[in-house]
């Protein structure tokens, strides 16, 4: 349930008819159009944000359908990210065009979403409250939201100031932020008609604040290279060592617990390829491949479960291979190891889903890595799947925690026939 807070004392507000009030007798009238002004006392009595004419102009522009594709995309994303009874904030709601679409999309799922629209402009909020009478609307600054901590399932932030700390405060654990930002050439044609020297917007760099990553592997130089390429603000913990070593596995999980306070996502992507005829595979080579590709991720999953059970949005991603399902020449041991990985992943998923832990299997075809150069020397980089492609799929699985769950994704090269 949405809990509005008094901008004067911070106590919970209760609505009785057309008045919001707190236990300390601070009260705030609901305007005839349906909104309430919850700006802090220091900001009251002043005009903020867009005026009446600016709001009317924007409403007229949006009503002509120029942004319908974006409005539809936002509504669709909200349907995927939030449940039918979710608590949602449209931060910087403006005149309510996007807010209307968001509410309709969530209501179509059969629930009763609680939707709050907040904007610094009283004229904009007045129009939004009329456009979406089902919602709650307030004049407020997103730098100091009149909301209790951890009260929101989803924040929508469209072409509006981004307040990272405040958004983090009011989001529930496992909640989502949907942000829409203008890219470099956004409205450049309009600027060209208005200005003698039209300017481009600064490049958008996604904020990585709060994103914490532990990198495990044998090659310290590669780990350092990965860390150097991460977005500014990412907290990366380097843990060089042999992932096959049980003691190293324990040490990694202990270090993650000590540094980050817990674990939300485990990705098992270590692997070893081979390109040997069936008759040439020795017992030692077979055991080596099975250990890294199956035994190690099996016990890493097992050891990580106590930490994952403490997370509000726990996921395990195991990277297998299409070879596990199809089998390829000169890859018998590799296929056996990935088939075994696929098998235990499916069993694990069935055992822990009621604990809130989602286990996914990604089975790609040829990915252009050093390992693929060994197993598929016949393929070039232009023909193969990129590591970035698989990373985007992994991120999608981790972030998309709705009632629709994807157990396995099989990925093939664009130049390979579908379902072949």
Residues 380 and 305 in one domain: yes
Range of weakest confidence among 85-89, 198-202, 278-282, 299-303: 198-202
Closest by Cα among 318, 277, 325 to 294: 318
Average of per-residue pLDDT across 129-157: 93
Tokens of 283: 């017992």
Per cent of the chain over pLDDT 90 is 61
Please tell me the predicted confidence (pLDDT) of residue 270. 92
Confirm whether 389 is domain-assigned. Answer: yes
pLDDT interval class at 207 (50, 70, 90): low
Q: Indicate whether 182 pLDDT > 60.
A: yes
**Cα 310 from Cα 73, distance rounded (Å):** 33
pLDDT tens-digit readout, 318-335 = 999 999 888 889 999 999
- Asked whether the beta carbons of 358 and 315 are under 8 A apart, the reply is yes
pLDDT tens-digit readout, 51-108 = 899 999 999 999 999 999 999 999 999 999 998 899 999 999 999 999 999 999 999 9
- Asked whether the beta carbons of 408 and 361 are under 8 A apart, the reply is yes
Residues 394 and 296 in one domain: yes
pLDDT interval class at 233 (50, 70, 90): low
Kindly report the average pLDDT of the chain as a whole number. Answer: 89
Average of per-residue pLDDT across 263-292: 94
Concatenate the DSSP letters of all residues of 293-348 into one string: IIIHHHHHHHHHHHHHTT-SS-EEEEE--THHHH--TT-HHHHHHHHHHHHHHHHH
Q: Indicate whether 42 pLDDT > 70.
A: no
Residues 184 and 265 in one domain: no
Per cent of the chain over pLDDT 70 is 95
Confirm whether 249 is domain-assigned. Answer: yes
Contacts of 133 (CB under 8 A, 6+ apart): 34
Residues 65 and 184 in one domain: yes
Q: Please report, for the domain that includes residue 162, its CATH number.
A: 3.40.50.150
Residues 184 and 279 in one domain: no
Q: Please report, for the domain that includes residue 402, its CATH number.
A: 3.40.50.720
**Cα 385 from Cα 414, distance rounded (Å):** 8
Average of per-residue pLDDT across 369-394: 80
Tokens of 284: 């030692």
Residues 254 and 391 in one domain: yes
Count of domains for the chain = 2
DSSP state of 42: G
Q: Indicate whether 28 pLDDT > 90.
A: yes
Confirm whether 365 is domain-assigned. Answer: yes
Cα R_g (the chain), whole angstroms: 26
Q: Indicate whether 214 pLDDT > 80.
A: yes
- Asked whether the beta carbons of 359 and 348 are under 8 A apart, the reply is yes
Q: Indicate whether 376 pLDDT > 90.
A: no
Please tell me the predicted confidence (pLDDT) of residue 261. 79
**Cα 121 from Cα 48, distance rounded (Å):** 5
Please tell me the predicted confidence (pLDDT) of residue 210. 53
CA atoms within 13 Å, Cβ hemisphere of 42: 3
Contacts of 213 (CB under 8 A, 6+ apart): 230, 234, 235, 236, 237
The helix-helix angle for 332-352 and 296-308 (nearest 10°) equals 20
Q: Which of 166, 194, 222 corresponds to the end of one domain?
A: 194
Average of per-residue pLDDT across 20-45: 88
Q: Which alpha helices (DSSP H) does 140-183 contain, by range?
A: 164-170
Residues 255 and 361 in one domain: yes
**Cα 77 from Cα 177, distance rounded (Å):** 11
Residues 40 and 189 in one domain: yes
Residues 259 and 404 in one domain: yes
pLDDT interval class at 253 (50, 70, 90): very high
Residues 316 and 186 in one domain: no
- Asked whether the beta carbons of 391 and 291 are under 8 A apart, the reply is no
Give the H or E element holding residue 350.
helix 332-352
Residues 251 and 374 in one domain: yes
Confirm whether 14 is domain-assigned. Answer: no
Tokens of 419: 């379902």
Q: Tell me how long the chain is.
A: 420
Which has more pLDDT, 296 or 206? 296
- Asked whether the beta carbons of 111 and 83 are under 8 A apart, the reply is yes
Confirm whether 160 is domain-assigned. Answer: yes
Closest by Cα among 323, 328, 327, 331 to 275: 331
- Asked whether the beta carbons of 118 and 88 are under 8 A apart, the reply is no
Confirm whether 5 is domain-assigned. Answer: no
Q: Indicate whether 368 pLDDT > 90.
A: no
Beta pairing partners, 236 = 213
77 lies in which domain range?
Answer: 34-194
Average of per-residue pLDDT across 120-146: 93
Confirm whether 230 is domain-assigned. Answer: no
**Cα 268 from Cα 257, distance rounded (Å):** 18
pLDDT tens-digit readout, 30-41 = 999 999 999 887
Confirm whether 187 is domain-assigned. Answer: yes
Residues 165 and 251 in one domain: no
Please tell me the predicted confidence (pLDDT) of residue 46. 63
DSSP state of 93: -
């Amino acid at each position: 349930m949405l809990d509005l807070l008094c901008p004067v004392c911070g106590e919970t507000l209760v609505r009785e008819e057309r008045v919001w009030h707190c236990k300390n007798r601070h009260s705030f009238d609901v305007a005839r159009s349906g909104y309430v002004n919850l700006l802090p006392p220091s900001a009251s009595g002043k005009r903020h944000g867009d005026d009446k004419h600016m709001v009317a102009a924007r409403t007229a522009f949006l009503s002509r359908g120029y942004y319908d594709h974006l409005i539809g995309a936002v509504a669709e994303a909200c349907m995927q990210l939030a449940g039918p009874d979710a608590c949602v904030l449209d931060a910087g709601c403006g005149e309510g065009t996007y807010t209307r679409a968001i509410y309709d999309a969530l209501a179509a799922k059969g629930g009763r979403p609680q939707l709050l629209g907040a904007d610094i402009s009283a004229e904009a909020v007045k129009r939004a409250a009329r456009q979406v009478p089902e919602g709650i609307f307030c004049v407020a600054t997103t730098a100091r939201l009149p909301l209790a901590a951890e009260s929101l399932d989803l924040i929508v932030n469209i072409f509006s100031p981004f307040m990272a700390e405040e958004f983090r405060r009011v989001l529930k654990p496992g909640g989502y932020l949907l942000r829409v930002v203008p890219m470099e050439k956004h409205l450049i044609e309009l600027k060209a008609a208005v200005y003698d020297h039209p300017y481009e917007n600064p490049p958008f760099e996604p904020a990585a604040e709060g994103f914490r990553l532990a990198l495990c592997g044998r090659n310290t130089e590669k780990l350092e290279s990965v860390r150097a390429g991460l977005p500014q603000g990412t907290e990366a913990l380097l843990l060089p060592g042999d992932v096959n070593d049980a003691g190293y596995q324990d040490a990694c999980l202990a270090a993650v617990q000590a540094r980050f306070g817990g674990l939300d996502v485990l990705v098992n992507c270590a692997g070893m390829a081979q390109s040997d005829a069936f008759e040439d595979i020795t017992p030692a080579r077979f055991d080596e491949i099975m250990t890294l590709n199956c035994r190690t991720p099996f016990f890493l999953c097992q050891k990580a479960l106590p930490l994952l059970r403490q997370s509000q949005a726990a996921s395990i991603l195991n990277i297998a291979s299409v070879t596990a399902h199809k089998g390829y020449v000169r890859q018998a041991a590799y296929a056996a190891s990935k088939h075994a990985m696929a098998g235990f992943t499916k069993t694990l998923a069935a055992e822990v889903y009621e604990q809130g832990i989602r286990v996914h299997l990604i089975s790609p075809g040829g990915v252009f890595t050093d390992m693929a150069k060994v197993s598929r020397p016949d393929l070039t980089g232009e023909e193969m799947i990129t590591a970035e492609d698989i990373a985007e799929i992994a991120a999608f699985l981790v972030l998309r925690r709705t009632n629709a769950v994807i157990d396995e994704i099989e990925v093939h090269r664009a130049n390979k026939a579908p379902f072949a």
